[in-house]
Chain A
């Protein structure tokens, strides 16, 4: 596992990924060996089927949406760079990064970018608004079959009522951020990546 992975990933690529995502060298090599073990076709990219083979992902209510998030617009394969870019959203925010304000562009794991990732799980048609239907779809996925349509509809209506400030019956990204401003997004959307 260990030696095969490092010979296929070149040093320059590791450096580029490090700069773009902020992962450390050893984290990148470990995630690369995980990538290759998922890649059953051994062609250097992952397809949707490769993800669906993971059992815990198959039973996760949002599994399909998360898998979608890895694939860029209308493509069916994701390479290692794209894989790392999506995983970078879940990197914990380190203390010294919070104070750094000279960064040219916001790091992938900033609070705003984490929230944008979550927003896109709802906003399927990418029109930068969560409509009532889109909200209902995701709620139905998370809740299962034991809540009736009317109950779910009223939950969705109440959510939109409380969040919508400009009265267009849908939730924009700013309104989404406002609803979650008290939630500790940094902790809820961070995973401990091993070194």
Chain B
């Protein structure tokens, strides 16, 4: 801290504005507790040759620096262009195939083909990220109807889960490229997109979820009850909205291996595009997905208790800390 200070303290207003910086850091350390630590990336014991995980490692030896340089070359000149090319070709594929499928009349052919399109497109995205996924207990995979809940680390969670089955996504309507993708997805299968104003109306949300779940032909809904991205060392308190609907809940635990690449998206630090570029220039995204047996709300159990029960099951399976908050 003080070395940086010497170089900067040379103009008059910096004599004052640096005090602002130090006072903020001081108050942050007063307020910091085990929960705020969940919102920054996990620290590694050994350096995995990626710059962004280089927190405590200073210059160790020339050999290590050369190795790092070679790794940098490999990742940015070989892996990144290949992955970006795949990702960039996957998006138009999705946008072209889904309207084609939607032209077919509703029926077995329509749903069969839309599943195929779904699997192909998500397969392309998974390979674009070089995600090496191990699915455990696939006999518990969510089936028709029901709600699937999982712990949230990154928006990539959706791609990882959707690679192995069709889900209906829930979310707010966005503009731009995201909005385009949302409209395309809706053509092939049913998703639930909310307007911003509707999202605040809890009854409307609950009703739409309930209607979707009641229709057995529709795919299960994928919900992330934590509400925000956590750094994959613990599971935060679940919001109870999705547990009030009253159908069976399929918990899924996702655990990323931090040695190959940090999957956590710190939305206050970088935007989604820089996050995707970071991820695509890591070694790989290695993760394990565990499908847990379905759980139903017991008689007399409140939604909050049910959500805590599901949260503990997910934390226990994934080896994550079950936080009280």
Listed in ascending order, the chain A residues whose CB lies under 8 Å from chain B are 1-2, 30-31, 33-34, 37-38, 51, 54-57, 59-63, 65-66, 87, 90, 117-118, 121-122, 135, 138-139, 142-144, 146-147, 155-156, 158-159, 162-163, 176, 179-180, 182-183, 185, 188-194
Contacts and interface: CB of A to CB of B under 8 A. Distances in A.
B265 to A, nearest CB: 16
A194 B230 CA distance: 13
Interface in B11-42: 12-13, 15-33, 35-36, 39
Contacts of B29: 54-57, 60
Contacts of B28: 191
A193 B325 CA distance: 14
Given A143-B6, A183-B17, A118 B268 contact: no
B10 interface: yes
B19 A155 contact: no
A56 B1 CA distance: 12
A66 B268 contact: no
B5 interface: yes
B46 interface: no
Given A2-B325, A30-B35, A163-B12, A185 B20 contact: yes
B60 interface: no
A159 B5 contact: no
Interface of B: 1-2, 5-6, 9-10, 12-13, 15-33, 35-36, 39, 268, 324-325
A71 to B, nearest CB: 13
A189 B30 contact: no
B315 to A, nearest CB: 16
Nearest to A156: B15
A188 B324 contact: no
Contact of A155 (B15, B24, B26, B268): B15
A186 B24 CA distance: 11
A144 B2 contact: yes
A1 B324 contact: yes
* A contact face: mostly helix, strand, loop, or mixed: helix
Contact of B31 (A143, A190, A193): A193
A88 B257 CA distance: 39
A142 B22 contact: yes
Contacts of A31: 31
Contacts of B39: 194
A61 B22 contact: yes
Contacts of B19: 62, 118, 121-122, 138, 142
Given A2-B324, A142-B2, 14 more contacts: A30-B35, A61-B1, A66-B23, A87-B27, A87-B30, A90-B27, A118-B16, A122-B19, A142-B19, A143-B2, A155-B10, A188-B20, A190-B24, A191-B28
27 contacts: A2-B324, A30-B33, A30-B325, A56-B29, A56-B32, A60-B29, A61-B2, A62-B19, A66-B26, A90-B24, A118-B16, A118-B19, A121-B19, A122-B19, A138-B19, A139-B15, A142-B2, A142-B9, A143-B2, A146-B2, A155-B15, A159-B15, A163-B12, A179-B12, A183-B20, A188-B24, A190-B24
Contact of A51 (B16, B30, B268): B30
Given A37-B33, A143-B2, A189 B9 contact: no
B30 A57 contact: yes
Contacts of B10: 155
A122 B23 CA distance: 12
B325 A60 contact: no
B26 A62 contact: yes
A118 B20 contact: yes
Contacts of B6: 143-144, 146-147
A90 to B, nearest CB: 5
Contact of A34 (B12, B24, B25, B31): B31
* Shortest Cβ-Cβ A-B pairs, 8 listed: A56-B29, A144-B2, A66-B26, A159-B12, A62-B22, A162-B12, A188-B20, A2-B324
Contacts of B30: 38, 51, 54, 57, 66, 87
